[in-house]
Amino acid sequence: MNVHTKVKHGNQVAWDDETKRKMATIWNDGGSASLISARFGLSRTAVLGLVHRNPRLFKSKKTDTPRYSRTGGRKPVSKMFGEDRPKPNHAQLGNKAKNTRKARMEAVQREAAEFQSGTSPMLQIAPDDADRLNTGKEMIDLARNECRFGLNNSHPFIFCAAPTEGAVYCPHHSMRAYVIREAR
């Protein structure tokens, strides 16, 4: 390789015409960008950029074979929905989605009915919190270091108000609110 084959112009490298012709000869004879990059000490990307910028020197690698060469130029027939297989009935496929959607909507409606009737597990007050309802406070009445754990699920909302040590919850409600993961 000639040491003076490339000249730097700013951030770009300009190759002299002789080196470009040598690279084009290898490329046009069927050589790959990897082969050229190995011979001239370049990156493959640099060679491909040179090919792209000099279309008159470097011939296109595209072949003139038909698009569907394996089928003689005809578009291949899908094996899944070929002439011998029946096409799917989209109306039947849609029914499965409708049934799933219907089941989900029924479950949501059941949960909403339980919530409104007061039988939902979300509305049940824990037994140890039932005793604290008498000493609890509304949010506006809570002081700075009092537990903010909600005791009920209806208006007026009552909070624990047990003393804390700068935390949001008292030690009892911290154990319920924060679950410690086990090591894997």
Domain around 184: 120-184
16: domain CATH number is 1.10.10
Task: Specify the pLDDT at position 111.
Answer: 78
Would residue 16 count as lying in a domain? yes
Q: Are 146 and 168 in contact (CB under 8 A)?
A: no
Q: What is the pLDDT of residue 98?
A: 64
Give domain status of residue 112, yes or no.
Answer: no
DSSP labels, 12-53: EEEE-HHHHHHHHHHHHTT--HHHHHHHHT--HHHHHHHHHH
Which domain-ending residue is among 37, 53, 69?
53
Domain count along the chain: 2
In a domain, 113, yes or no: no
Q: Which of 53, 72, 89 is the last residue of a domain?
A: 53
Enter the tokens of residue 122.
């979300």
Q: In Å, how far from its chain's centre is CA 110? A: 33
pLDDT for 161: 92
pLDDT of residue 2: 45
Residue positions counted in the chain: 184
- The span from the CA of 27 to the CA of 58, in Å, is 7
Residue 183 lies in a domain: yes
Specify if 114 maps to a domain: no
Name the token pair of 65.
């074979």
pLDDT in tens, the chain (184 residues): 444 455 555 555 667 888 889 999 999 988 889 999 999 888 899 999 989 888 888 888 776 666 666 776 777 766 665 556 666 666 655 566 667 777 877 887 887 787 677 666 666 677 778 888 888 899 899 999 999 998 887 778 889 999 998 889 998 888 888 877 777 6
pLDDT of amino acid 181: 76
How much is the pTM?
A: 0.35
Phi-psi region of 21 (alpha: psi -120 to 50; beta: other; left: phi over 0): alpha
